[in-house]
A and B are shown apart, each in its own frame.
Chain A
Amino acid sequence: MTSIAPQRFSRLGIFGVVLAMVGLAIIPFVTSTTGLRQASQIIISVLAVLGVNVATGYGGMISLGHGVFIGVGAFATGYYVDGLGLPWLLAIPLGAATAALSGALVGLPALRIKGIHLALVTLGLAIVFQPLSKRFPKFTGGVSGKNIKAEFVAPSWWPSDTRMATAVYRYLFCIVIVGLAMWATWNLVNSRFGRSMRAVRDNDTSAAVYGVDLISARLQTFAVSAGLAGLCGALQIVLVPFVSQEIYTPQQSLVIYATAVIGGLGTIWGSVLGVVARTVVGAVGKAAAGADGLGPIGEFFDLLDQPAFVFGVGLILLTFMFPRGLAGIKRPKRTTG
Chain B
Amino acid sequence: MTWNFDILPDFIFNGLSLGAIYGTVALALVLIFKATTLINFATGELAMLGAFLVYVLHMEQGLWLWLSMLIAMALSAGLGVLIERTLTRPFDPSDHLPVVLITLGLFLIINAVAGDIWNYQVRILSNPFGQFPSWVPSVGGDRFIMVFGSRLKYQSLGIWVTLAIALFLLGLILNRTKAGLAFRAVSSNVESARLVGVHTGRTLGFGWAIASAFGTLGAVLVAPQLGGVNPNMMATILIYALAGAALGGLDSLGGAVLGGILVGLIQAVAVTWVGVVVFGQLYMSILQLAAAFIVILIVLLFRPSGLFGTRRVERV
Contact = CB atoms under 8 A, between A and B. Distances in A.
Interface of A: 62, 64, 109, 112-113, 115-117, 119-121, 123-125, 127-128, 131-132, 134-135, 203, 205-206, 250-251, 254-255, 257-258, 261, 302-303, 306, 308-309, 311-316, 319-320, 323, 331, 333, 335-336
Contacts of A306: 112, 115-116
Contact of A128 (B37, B290, B300, B304): B290
A251 B108 CA distance: 7
Nearest to A209: B316
A281 to B, nearest CB: 13
B141 interface: no
A113 B104 contact: no
Interface stretch (B1-9, B93-101, B126-134): B93-101
A116 B286 contact: no
Contact of B38 (A116, A132, A206): A116
Nearest to A257: B104
A116 B104 contact: no
A162 B230 CA distance: 45
Contacts of A258: 101, 104-105, 108
Nearest to B92: A323
Given A113-B304, A116-B39, 5 more contacts: A116-B100, A117-B304, A131-B285, A309-B109, A319-B98
Interface string B76-99: 000000000001001100011110
B301 interface: yes
Interface stretch (B155-163, B177-185, B234-242, B270-278): B234-242
Interface in B277-313: 283, 285-286, 289-290, 292-293, 296-297, 300-301, 304
B113 interface: yes
B144 interface: no
A306 B96 CA distance: 27
Contacts of B292: 124
For the complex, would chain B's binding face be called helix, strand, loop or mixed by DSSP majority? helix
B113 to A, nearest CB: 7
B267 interface: no
29 contacts: A109-B297, A112-B301, A113-B301, A117-B246, A117-B304, A119-B41, A120-B300, A121-B296, A121-B300, A124-B239, A124-B242, A128-B289, A128-B290, A131-B289, A134-B286, A206-B316, A251-B111, A254-B104, A257-B104, A308-B112, A309-B112, A311-B108, A312-B110, A315-B108, A316-B102, A323-B98, A331-B97, A333-B95, A336-B100
A315 B42 CA distance: 14
Contacts of B242: 120, 123-124
Contacts of B100: 62, 116, 119, 336
Contacts of A123: 41, 242
A132 B116 contact: no
Contacts of B96: 115-116, 336
Contacts of A115: 96
Interface in B251-277: none
B109 A109 contact: no
A315 B70 CA distance: 32
B290 A127 contact: no
